[in-house]
Structure 1
């Protein structure tokens, strides 16, 4: 057996609740690797994120501010943690974090902290508001879309769209709206939570199929596993899913990674219609919360991501088990108030 890569990795998105972040599934994949001996530093935004208290997975956790505090203040805290507890690499797992990490990559590198992320151009062109143009550029079918910023825009939607339509936040969340009143309600919720613009998208009937993938930045697909959601929560999150044998979806993914030279993890969310047409409805520029299904199916994407980040050569993974399922469940963590006090008062646990 080759000697394991000994490394300290900081991971965000420890919120493993009914709206789970990818952090814990990413950590599970890393911890199960036969090639990596990782010490995990959790980076938490709230003191009740379950990952903080999963001590078999997360060795130490530090509180960090939300990216909305501004790039400088956010990065100042990351570097402060690095001074106390040196970090070899960071895996950010939330869309709202990525711009800051990409923009300040040079500061991280100057402090010997590695990342493996898309470029600023790649992040921007797959933005929800730019998705139609993205589809035309890369020859992928995309539902008609529109960015809106005011109530006046809502009134005119009937000129361009037929109901129902999808109403999406600029980072997360989506609602199906059947009339103007429902669009207004969704607009209010999403703008209050994520800000403007709000994305309106044509509703395409069919089966939602997703794929988690990893690109090496040179056009090669290192991993790709397609999945169909079996159970969806009221937040639209997959609570169960099954891996698929879908050569068309894999081909779309591989061509997209080749054409964009995508660097890092991604999730493609697509609708497969009854006449077998595929429509891209969203690209998440990082691995999704269901990435552990890919690990269980034979492609340890978190492991491969770590190895790419550290400059190792990683051979593409092409095989995976079809018919592998995942089912999420809730689990009560028992701890002491002293644990909560440590993270709340001292910002570390």
Structure 2
């Protein structure tokens, strides 16, 4: 890559109890050899990443994807006219559809991305997971998409309590009776839309992999970890890198078979008998990506280089036993900055 300064737009600056990946992605870029100007792309005016000192050079508010594709694209065009973006790294499942849909249009404008294809994005949806498992020869817990809470009282066997009920994009709750199921169905469908997915609970340890595929079947990066501390929202608040060859084998297999392009997170359950069940694929960089950076694989840097068309050599090793622990930190700011982002939509 030429050593010119790159202007990189990053979403997901909400570093709260259910953190977005944006802050960790930016930290990874700043730890790399890339000379970058960072443009924060925020959906809400109180996302902490906007105000963290030394993190972003400028922030713009962007409309929620649900506002409509026209408003979304218009805002990106305006920001690009001001900043001349080289790369955008989107970090939320709910925005990826539009970024993938408009990736060619963005490239015409000079904005590079490195994202899965629409087919890759669609086929790994939670409600498609059983078909995905059959197609690629992996195990998943029994699961079923539902569109009506009445279906919960008559779930087909072998689905039984306890099970997890999952939102289309985010959130999952453990259910032990029908009343609980109906309550969470209503909550999740109102927030994330339909379908809602019911997935059999599997006993075991949750293990995760962050990986990067080059779009040609090669795994450029893969780091495995185990959550050590989990919040009530199911988010990792602490984790440790693992030496787990079977877990990495499954990751390589999925990327080879699907020719996955871009970053992903595999969430899996390892049973006491040593079986691995895939419970979810997140089609983007996860919030714990800075652990991978600390373990020797700077995935945000590699995403930037791949987006700019550079050849990136796969990294096959990382440090085991590296830990991360999240913590809260009171950030003191000025009301004048808040007013600017509210009134002008940029800071």
Gaps of 5+ in 2: none
Structure 2 equivalent of residue 15 of structure 1: 14
User: Quick one: distance in 1 between partners of 2:294 and 2:313?
Assistant: 18
Residue of structure 2 equivalent to 1:43: 41
Out of 185, 190, 205, the position equivalent to 1:207 is 205
Identify the residue that residue 67 of structure 2 maps to in structure 1: 69
Consecutive unaligned residues of structure 1, counting only runs of 5 or more, are none
Change (3 A) 1:5 1:135: farther
CA contact (8 A) 2:143 2:159 kept: no
RMSD (Å), alpha carbons? 1.1
Q: Give the match for residue 129 of structure 2.
A: 131
Match of 1:177 in 2: 175
Matches of 2:60 and 2:262, distance apart in 1 = 24
The equivalent residue for 1:29 is 28
Deviation at 1:193, TM superposition (A): 1.0
CA offset digits 1:2-61 (Å, max 9, x no partner): 973520000000000001000000000000102x00100000011000000123011100
1:289-328 → structure 2 map (5 Å cutoff): 289-328=287-326
Within-5 A mapping of 1:49-60 = 49-60=47-58
Q: What does 1:84-99 align with in structure 2 at a 5 Å threshold? A: 84-99=82-97
**Which contiguous aligned blocks of 4+ residues in structure 1 show a shift greater than 6 angstroms?**
none
Structure 2 Cα separation of the partners of residues 117 and 189 of structure 1: 30
Shift of residue 196 of structure 1?
A: 1.1
Are residues 1:163 and 2:164 paired? no
The Cα shift of 1:161 comes to 1.4
User: What is the match of residue 102 of structure 1?
Assistant: 100
Does the residue aligned with 2:256 lie in a helix, a strand or coil?
A: helix
Match of 1:287 in 2: 285
Distance 1:345 1:40 in 2: 22
TM-score, structure 1 as length reference: 0.98
Specify the SS of the correspondent of 2:35: strand
Which string of whole-angstrom CA distances, capped at 9 and with x for unpartnered residues, describes residues 192-219 of structure 1?
A: 1111110001111100000000000011
Structure 2 equivalent of residue 114 of structure 1: 112
1:159 deviates by 4.9
Counterpart in 2 of 1:246?
Answer: 244
Distance 1:330 1:227 in 2: 22
Aligned to 1:294, the other structure's residue is in SS state helix
